[in-house]
């Protein structure tokens, strides 16, 4: 069985850091960058997936489950995810069953139980360093950073040592 973690994020190149200063700093804002919706599936023992969708609604979630299945075609899949409403609809449950995917919802307000949150945090730390990107350049940068981060099994190993033992 393939075990993985799913979550959505919204990414943009606009920086959002907090700073502390003795004097009032001069801020130059990068607010013109694109904003996109990213779906990610971080797996412990299969193929991790990242994809871009219009929004976080049910049809996009159903489409992403198909993408997960295409990347991991032969074994059952356990997807650990949050309680976002589109993840719990009757349509989502039926599609998951059809695809041989088991959805396991973590308790509400428990992002610490989903290691993909650490990947999003690390990814978003790197994105502000890239500015004035087009939508396609941003997607390419996200894909590249996500592949590099999801190849690290330490996020999942920490989860296993903390919660599965």
CA distance 63 to 87: 12
Say how many domains are in the chain: 1
CA distance 53 to 130: 21
Q: What is the pLDDT of residues 103-114, one digit of tens each?
A: 999 998 888 889
CA distance 108 to 125: 25
Domain assignment of residue 24, yes or no: no
pTM for this predicted structure: 0.82
Domain assignment of residue 27, yes or no: no
Is the predicted pLDDT of residue 62 greater than 90, yes or no?
yes
Q: What is the CATH number of the domain that holds 120?
A: 3.30.420.10
The kind and range of the H/E element at 7 are strand 2-12
Domain with 41, as residue range(s), is: 2-10+33-164
Would you tell me how many other CB atoms lie within 10 Å of the CB of residue 130? Answer: 15
Q: What is the pLDDT of residues 92-106, one digit of tens each?
A: 999 999 999 999 999
Domain assignment of residue 117, yes or no: yes
Q: What is the pLDDT of residues 35-50, one digit of tens each?
A: 789 999 999 899 999 9
């Amino acid at each position: 069985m393939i075990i993985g973690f799913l979550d959505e994020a919204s990414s943009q190149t606009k920086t959002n850091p907090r700073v502390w200063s003795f004097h009032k700093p001069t801020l130059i804002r990068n607010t013109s960058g694109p904003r996109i919706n990213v779906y990610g599936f971080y797996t412990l023992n299969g193929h991790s997936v990242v994809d871009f969708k219009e929004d976080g609604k049910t049809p996009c979630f159903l489409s992403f489950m198909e993408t997960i299945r295409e990347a991991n075609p032969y074994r059952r899949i356990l997807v650990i995810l949050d309680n976002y409403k589109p993840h719990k609809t009757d349509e989502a449950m039926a599609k998951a069953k059809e695809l041989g995917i088991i959805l396991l919802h973590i308790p509400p307000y428990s992002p610490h139980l989903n290691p993909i949150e650490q990947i999003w945090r690390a990814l978003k730390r790197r994105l502000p360093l890239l500015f004035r990107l087009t939508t396609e350049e941003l997607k390419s940068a996200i894909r590249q950073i996500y592949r590099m981060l999801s190849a690290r099994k330490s996020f999942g190993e920490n989860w296993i040592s903390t919660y599965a033992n």
